[in-house]
Structure formats: C-alpha cells, structure tokens
Amino acid sequence: MAKVRWLVTKLQRPNAPVHRPWSPWRSLRYLMALLLLLAAAHVLAIVVFEGLTPFQALWLTMTTITTVGYGDLVAETIAGRLSTILLVYLGGIWIAFQSAATYFEYRADRRERRRRGRWKWHMTDHILLLNVPAQDTAYLHRLLKEFQASRRFRRKRVQVVSTGFPEGLPDSLSEMGLVHYSGYPWDSDALRSASAADADVIAVFAESDSDVATDGRTLDIIDRLRDIGAEGRILAECVDDRNRPRFKRFGADLVVRPLRGYPEMIVRALAAPGAEQILEDLFTSRGDEVWRYDVCVSGWPWGELVSALVKEDIGVPIAFRRSIREDIIINPMPDVRIEADKIYVLVREGNARPDKDIAALLARRRPRAGD
C-alpha cells in the first residue's frame, strides 16, 4: 500500500522531503462515495430484477446494508439475490474492512508522527521552549518540575521545538506531559507549526552557555517570533551582557544569563518578571550578596531582628540556622523567637561588617523578656 511505502521511506530517511499522498479523510470520503454507488446499483438491480418500486428497493437495500433485516421485503429471484451478494454482502464487507484498516492506519500514523515530532498540536496559551539543550534531559526534567510546581504555570502544556529527539522524547519527559515538534527554532514554518503566535510564554535558550557567537542565533529567533506575530512573553538567554539592550530592541521581554544548573531561574523570571535580576545579582560577586554572620541570637522575634538590622544599615536578614538542629530556616514568621548560631543577611556590596560588630549591636538592642 502507498501508506506503507511512505512509512518505510520516512523511517529510513526521516528528514527526506517525501511526498505524502495518503490522507485518512480522503480515503474515508472515497469509501463512503463507493458505498453510496454500490447502494444505488443495488436499488437499481432490485427494481429491475424483483419488480419493486424504487422506495421498496431502497428500503430493502438499507435494511440489508445495516444488517437490520426486517424480512418484510426480500430478494426472491436468482439475479436479485446475486446482486445482493455481490453489491451488498461482498462489497459491504470490503468497504467495512477498508474503513477499519484506514482507521487503524490513521491511528498508527498519528502515533508515529507524534512520537517523532511531526504532529501539529494546535496549542494555545502554552509554554514553548526553543533551542532547549536536548542532550541534558536532567535539566529538562527539573525545568518541567519547576513549571508544574508554579501556580502560574502548573496547568499549562509545554512544547519544545528541537531536532534533538529523532527517536522521540524519552519516556520520563513524555510522562510529564512534554510534547515536541521536530524542527529548527530559527525556521519560521517550524515556529508556526508549534503555534508560537498563540503561546503564553516562550523561552529561547542559548545554544552554548559560553560562546558569545550564539547570541546572534538567539537574536534571529527572537526577531522571527515577533515577525510571525508572537505576542506572548519572550525570555531569552544572553551570553554577553553587552547584547542585552539588543535583545530588548529585537523583542525580548526578559533577558537572563544561561545558568544551566538552575532551571528555577527561567521559571521565576517568567512567573515574576524582574525576579531574574534579583537572582542574577545573588549569583554574582558584584552588587548585593548573601552574607553569613556567625553570631548567637537568642530570644529575638524574627520581625524585630529584621527591623534592627535594617535600621542599622546592616542589611536584610533572610534566614537563620537553628542552634540545636543546625537546619536553615528561610523567611520565618515575624513573631517566631529564634535560637540561632548563624544568620544570613542580604547586604550591599562592600557593606559587610565584622561578626563582632553584629554581636555587639544585638547585645545592645536586646529585646526585653516580656516583649
């Protein structure tokens, strides 16, 4: 069959431009037209050989084809019965077989195309990932888990455009709901097939997290996205910080460094625009940084401790380590009285103080026991 030859060719040469002549809907229309032709021929034969009226012949044909078989009208002549055998029984059985074969062939074709990324999903309001590091499935797995954990994105479907999955997505990713379209992210046709214009958010990853030249490819993708009418929020990874203004001019809403070890950066930036600047600031040695003070703090309500350090221009406390359990408590409730041997403070660059100064400050401003 033509379809079998087409599948064999595609399996042997998946990227070859093979003409695809088969369509399940065209085949079904052909079979329905043939069924009507056989029914009309049977009606005519019954009128001629059995001497029934056209309506009676139609009634007999329909009850026979549908296997209802009321028995009120039957073919009695040899010619009429042979016509029924050839046109209805054999012809109907052949059409039924072909219809079933077409249906199962279509299901197999759809399953194969989805597996290999040749299926157009016609998504809307989804998450689209471009230039994703296909070889790093662990990163993709963590990224999907972050999307699912986010209240903003947990109900959205995720699609990736990539040629990095020629044999289909790994089961671990498919089971998490990820789908893919096999194509290049700088191909406008592939972007249209992935419904990029209807995506809620689009993440454009850098091909390399260290090669500055890859920024040019990212710029091209951003430009193509806006050119095809993508209105969703676009996040782009930028290797060279000097290219950030260009990314913005080309249409990127958010620009982040390619921190491949932290997929949380991507999700946080998309869920809360601006958060990426805070996180990047914390990841670098420039600007604000988290400083640990090895001081003992006992009996302080967390809210008062925060207020005291902020007023003294020390910084903003964000966490502490409990003295007994030695576990880190992040952003506790303000009325929690802490017993800590270390506190973690967000300080400005160059504004860190010696531990003894912090200890002296806390001793001087120790809250009263009844407070």
Assess contact for 102 and 175: CB atoms under 8 A.
no
Q: In this structure, are 208 and 194 located in the same domain?
A: yes
The pLDDT assigned to 369 comes to: 54
**Residue at 182 is within a domain:** yes
Average pLDDT over residues 206-213: 90
* Average pLDDT value for residue range 133-145: 87
Give CA torsion, residues 301, 302, 308, 314, to 10 deg. 150
More confident residue, 368 or 139: 139
| Residue 191 within any structural domain of the chain | yes
133 and 272 belong to one structural domain: yes
**26, part of any domain:** yes
Are 16 and 159 found together in one domain?
no
Q: What is the pLDDT of residue 123?
A: 94
Give percent of the chain with pLDDT exceeding 70. 91
Together in a domain, 84 and 101: yes
> Does residue 121 lie within any of the structural domains?
no
Residue 114's nearest CA partner among 174, 157, 158 is 174
pLDDT computed for residue 368 by the predictor: 58
Answer yes or no: is pLDDT of 75 > 80.
Answer: yes
> Would you place residue 198 in the very low, low, confident or very high pLDDT band (cuts 50, 70, 90)?
very high
Q: What is the pLDDT of residue 10?
A: 47
For the question of whether the overall pTM of this predicted structure is more than 0.85, the answer is no
Q: Among 88-92, 195-199, 220-224, 330-334, where is mean pLDDT lowest?
A: 88-92
The model's pLDDT over 40-52, given as tens digits with 9 standing for 90+, comes to: 998 999 899 888 8
Q: Is 190 found in the same domain as 152?
A: yes
- Among residues 218, 250, 283, the one where a domain terminates is 283
pLDDT at 15 over 60: no
pLDDT for the residue numbered 284? 66
Domain match, 242 and 144 both? yes
Confidence of residue 189 (pLDDT cuts 50, 70, 90): very high
**Does the structure show a pLDDT above 60 at 4?**
no
Spatial separation of the C-alpha atoms in residues 344 and 338, rounded to whole Å: 13
How far is the CA of 86 from the CAs of 30, 80, 153, in angstroms?
Answer: 19, 10, 59
CATH number at residue 277: 3.40.50.720
The pLDDT of residue 66 is 77
- C-alpha triplet 248, 250, 253: angle, nearest 5°: 40
- 259 within some domain: yes
* Among 244, 267, 283, residue at a domain's last position: 283
- For range 54-69, the mean pLDDT: 85
Confidence of residue 2 (pLDDT cuts 50, 70, 90): very low
Higher pLDDT, 23 or 234: 234
Answer yes or no: is 315 within a domain. Answer: yes
Q: What is the CATH number of the domain that holds 353?
A: 3.30.70
The answer to the question of residue 24 being in a domain is yes
Rounded distance between C-alpha atoms, residue 342 and residue 332, angstroms: 14
Share of the chain above pLDDT 90, in %: 47
For the chain, how many structural domains are there in total?
3
- Inform me whether the pLDDT recorded for 204 exceeds 90: yes
- Angle ∠(340,287,211) on CA atoms, nearest 5: 120
Tell me: do 102 and 45 sit in the same domain. Answer: yes
Same domain, 87 and 163: no
What's the confidence (pLDDT) of residue 285? 60
| Domain containing residue 15: CATH number | 1.10.287.70
| Model confidence pLDDT, tens digit, residues 304-356 | 999 999 999 999 999 999 988 889 999 999 999 999 999 999 998 888 899 99
Predicted confidence at residue 286, as pLDDT, reads 65
- Residue in this structure with the two tokens 């078989």, named with its chain if needed: 69
Question: Residue 326: which residues within 8 A CB-CB, separation 6 or more?
Answer: 341
Tokens found for residue 179: 């789908």
Which pLDDT score, from 0 to 100, does residue 283 have? 66
Per residue in 237-294, pLDDT tens?
Answer: 999 989 999 999 999 999 998 877 788 888 888 888 887 777 777 766 667 888 999 9
Using DSSP's 3-state secondary structure scheme, residue 246 falls into helix
User: Is there a single domain that holds both residue 272 and residue 133?
Assistant: yes
Is 369 a domain residue?
Answer: no
If asked whether residues 134 and 221 sit together in one domain, one would say yes
Same domain, 88 and 64: yes
pLDDT of 82-106, one tens digit each?
988 888 888 877 887 888 888 888 8
Range of the domain at 231: 127-283
In this structure, which amino acid lies at residue 318? I
Q: Domain check: are 12 and 67 in the same one?
A: yes
Pick the last residue of a domain from 47, 81, 116: 116
Q: How far is the first Cα of the chain from the last one, in angstroms, to the nearest whole number? A: 86
